[in-house]
Chain A
Amino acid sequence: MTGRSRLGGVLAQVFMVVAVALWVTPILFALYVALRPISETNRLGYFSVAKKLTFENFANAWTQSDMWRFFLNSMWITVPAVILTLVLASAVAYVIARVNVKFNLSLLILFTAGNLLPQQVIITPLYRLYLAIPLPKFLSESGLMYNSITGLIVINVAFQLGFCVFVMSNYMRTIPKEIDEAAIVDGASLWKRYWRVTLPLCRPALAALATLLTTWIYNDFFWAITLISTGNKRPITSALANLQGQFVANQNMIAAAALLAAIPTLVVFILLQKQFIRGLTLGATKG
């Protein structure tokens, strides 16, 4: 019995070591290629012993494109979108969890189902809608939802709302009702019970969702590709598609650019991985 389970332990270790080796290979390989000059890899291929390792590709990728601008665009989209999504989703969640409205369940279904739709189901009419909605100049240079940062914020908020409503309403139901009822006895208004009493208790869920949303919205590719036409308005993730064209002769530099774009997600991975996973699983285990 113990002999068998020890064998099982060894097998498990071997399996995991092989899997992990396979899993890190693409990332380390990309880093290795990005650190080598194109002249060298053109001669020797990527799979060869490096004669020279340099950060040149990273520096060139940064200076030869508007990368700082793409990063700024990403920030201007991600930060407002995450905050808005969390505020709006927790508002709906509070009503669903604490106010006995007749159509609670329909609301939950509406939001949740909306989040599960593939983006491509709605893109065609959405694209026309964005071309039809005017925006004041200070919100959009083009004067339209289309090709504007505001437009991207709105669709990211709209699309992520469903998931967050779902998670938040489940989470709020795990908070004892008595807390809310005590606040009613104390004469607290509904707004106060939502903003001052319930939301602070939701901090763990909000932190987890914020981490998750930041990564998801930062990583968004589809909305930015379809709803932004001007290259320099794109956030960094979708701008990689343009950079791929611009640096077409230098795959090493494209790899460097892609790795630079991954830095914020890698920071989240290192510092906030637990929060991210909590966010994911909050939705799943309560589903």
Chain B
Amino acid sequence: MAVSAPAAAGTAKGPRRRRRFSRRDRLVIVVLLGIPLLIDLAFVWLPAFASLLLSFTKWTGVGSITLESCSDLPKVPGIPQPGCLYGLENYHQAFTVYPDFWPAVRHNAIWLGVFIILATPLGMLFAVVIDRGIRGSRIYQSVLFLPVMLSLALIGIIWELIYSPNYGLINSLIGRTGNDNLIDWLGDPNLNLWAILVEATWRQAGYVMVLYLAGLKAVDPALREAALVDGASARQTFFRVVFPVLRPINIVILVVTVIESLRAFDLVYITSKGNPLRGLELLSVAVTQNIVGETQRIGFGSTLGVVLLVISLVPISVFLYQVLRKEEA
């Protein structure tokens, strides 16, 4: 399997090796490592950490940010308050009064659910069928993979033609294009999330398919043959022999699935034309709404970002644990 290669790396021991680096070599190491590290720290980790700090403040982005408690600052009508310490108030507001929060959490959870129950198994099924080498499998694979390469913005736009209430494909097929009986797939808050999840699944299944295909190709054929010789059925061979061997790739797919459902944004933004649309609240959209538009709520936006961060730490840790175990093996 493809995973065993790094095992021997990095075992050369200290002192004998360290002498191999001249002063110039050491300088090169610092540069090779330093520049990318600096970029990564400054533009990814610093903002991530700042999100946490800012989540305890209230700040419109106008004026400076102070270390005084918001309740101590005088409120002058017409003049925006400078940034101030707000304690856990943002979190309190998010969980209680902010109307989009719980719908957003619910919709992100539904998104994940649909990916796990529908998109991922569908992609795996595609992969298994294609891996059997049936006739035309190369064309099938290409077509099913095409959506993965398209931008989500484009996907959102072309699906609007399918869902269009008056002219669209679906309503035409089911005869609901009249103004009195049309179905507004993308506008109706009870339907639009599901309609968009069809679009997302259309793309995600192809993604899972290629990942899984790569995993299947790496399975030693002898393993399957042995199982078949021992009298196992095709189904038994897959679920008892192949699937367990694919554990690493299964974890990767699980992580990808969770992260993609937390990142979901583009499709909703395009479909709702950048405005909040009922039925399509998502955490990612809620975060973004606090920095675009008239009044910025930097503190509150950061709070929602931290919520997203905490949730995403789960799949990230799972993935890193997988990597770590291999490094130490």
User: CB < 8 Å: which of A30, A41, A121, A238 contacts B51?
Assistant: A121
- The interface residues of chain B lying within 8 Å CB-to-CB of A16 are 126, 129-130, 134, 136-137, 140
- The interface residues of chain A lying within 8 Å CB-to-CB of B322 are 287
Within 8 A of B (CB), among A243-277: 244-245, 251, 254-255, 258-259, 261-262, 265-266, 268-269, 273, 276-277
Within 8 A of B (CB), among A167-220: 170, 173-174, 177, 184, 189-191, 194, 215, 218-219
- The interface residues of chain A lying within 8 Å CB-to-CB of B251 are 287
A173–B7 Cα distance when bound, in Å, is: 9
Q: B288 near A: Cβ within 8 Å?
A: yes
CB distance from B46 to the nearest CB of A (A): 7
Question: Do A158 and B40 contact each other (CB < 8 Å), given the known contacts A121-B312, A262-B150?
Answer: yes
Within 8 A of A (CB), among B26-56: 28-29, 32-33, 35-37, 39-40, 42-48, 50-51, 54
Q: B305 near A: Cβ within 8 Å?
A: yes
Within 8 A of B (CB), among A66-94: 88-89, 91-92, 94
Residue contact B134 to A9, C-beta cutoff 8 Å? yes
- Identity of the chain A residue whose Cβ is nearest the Cβ of B270 in the assembled complex: A241
Residue contact B319 to A112, C-beta cutoff 8 Å? yes
Q: A49 near B: Cβ within 8 Å?
A: no
User: CB < 8 Å: which of A24, A154, A240 contacts B143?
Assistant: A24
- Identity of the chain A residue whose Cβ is nearest the Cβ of B306 in the assembled complex: A121
User: CB < 8 Å: which of A30, A89, A123, A162 contacts B158?
Assistant: A30
Residue contact A255 to B161, C-beta cutoff 8 Å? yes
Question: Do A91 and B172 contact each other (CB < 8 Å), given the known contacts A118-B262, A118-B312, A122-B47?
Answer: no
User: CB < 8 Å: which of B36, B248, B255 contacts A116?
Assistant: B255
Residue contact B32 to A95, C-beta cutoff 8 Å? yes
Contact bitstring B123-135, A, C-beta under 8 A = 1, else 0: 0001001101011
A218–B149 Cα distance when bound, in Å, is: 10
B: number of interface residues (CB 8 Å) = 121
A215–B207 Cα distance when bound, in Å, is: 14
CB distance from B45 to the nearest CB of A (A): 6
Question: Do A104 and B10 contact each other (CB < 8 Å), given the known contacts A251-B161, A265-B149?
Answer: yes
Question: Do A124 and B298 contact each other (CB < 8 Å), given the known contacts A116-B312, A154-B39, A265-B150?
Answer: yes
- The interface residues of chain A lying within 8 Å CB-to-CB of B32 are 91-92, 94-95, 194
User: CB < 8 Å: which of B20, B134, B158 contacts A255?
Assistant: B158
Q: A120 near B: Cβ within 8 Å?
A: yes
- Identity of the chain A residue whose Cβ is nearest the Cβ of B267 in the assembled complex: A221
A241–B154 Cα distance when bound, in Å, is: 10
- Identity of the chain A residue whose Cβ is nearest the Cβ of B172 in the assembled complex: A47
Question: Do A47 and B284 contact each other (CB < 8 Å), given the known contacts A108-B323, A184-B20, A221-B153?
Answer: no
Residue contact B24 to A189, C-beta cutoff 8 Å? yes
Specify which of A46, A104, A287 lies most central, judged by the most chain B CB atoms within 10 Å of its CB.
A287
Within 8 A of A (CB), among B124-168: 126, 129-130, 132, 134-137, 139-140, 142-147, 149-155, 157-162, 164, 166-168
Residue contact B39 to A91, C-beta cutoff 8 Å? no
Q: B244 near A: Cβ within 8 Å?
A: no
A: number of interface residues (CB 8 Å) = 108
- Identity of the chain B residue whose Cβ is nearest the Cβ of A240 in the assembled complex: B153
A120–B32 Cα distance when bound, in Å, is: 29
Within 8 A of A (CB), among B269-312: 269-270, 273-274, 283-284, 287-288, 290-292, 298, 301-302, 305-306, 308-309, 312
Residue contact B149 to A26, C-beta cutoff 8 Å? no
A105–B167 Cα distance when bound, in Å, is: 56
User: CB < 8 Å: which of B14, B259, B305 contacts A122?
Assistant: B305
CB distance from B57 to the nearest CB of A (A): 11
Q: B202 near A: Cβ within 8 Å?
A: yes
Q: A148 near B: Cβ within 8 Å?
A: no
A221–B309 Cα distance when bound, in Å, is: 20
- The interface residues of chain A lying within 8 Å CB-to-CB of B134 are 9, 12-13, 16
User: CB < 8 Å: which of B54, B151, B213 contacts A262?
Assistant: B151
22 inter-chain pairs at a CB distance below 8 angstroms, sorted by A residue, are A12-B132, A20-B143, A23-B147, A25-B169, A30-B158, A45-B167, A107-B33, A111-B36, A120-B265, A120-B283, A124-B290, A159-B44, A173-B6, A189-B25, A221-B151, A226-B288, A237-B154, A240-B157, A269-B146, A281-B210, A286-B3, A287-B319
Given contacts A124-B47, A265-B149, could you give 6 more A-B pairs where the C-beta distance is less than 8 Å? A30-B157, A88-B39, A94-B32, A118-B309, A125-B51, A221-B270
Q: Which B residues are closer than 8 A to A by beta carbons?
A: 2-3, 5-6, 9-10, 12-14, 17, 20-22, 24-25, 28-29, 32-33, 35-37, 39-40, 42-48, 50-51, 54, 61, 126, 129-130, 132, 134-137, 139-140, 142-147, 149-155, 157-162, 164, 166-169, 172-173, 177, 202, 206-207, 210-211, 213-215, 218, 234, 248-249, 251-253, 255-256, 259, 262-263, 265-266, 269-270, 273-274, 283-284, 287-288, 290-292, 298, 301-302, 305-306, 308-309, 312, 315-316, 319-320, 322-324, 327
5 closest Cβ pairs, A-B complex: A281-B214, A47-B172, A125-B50, A219-B151, A30-B158
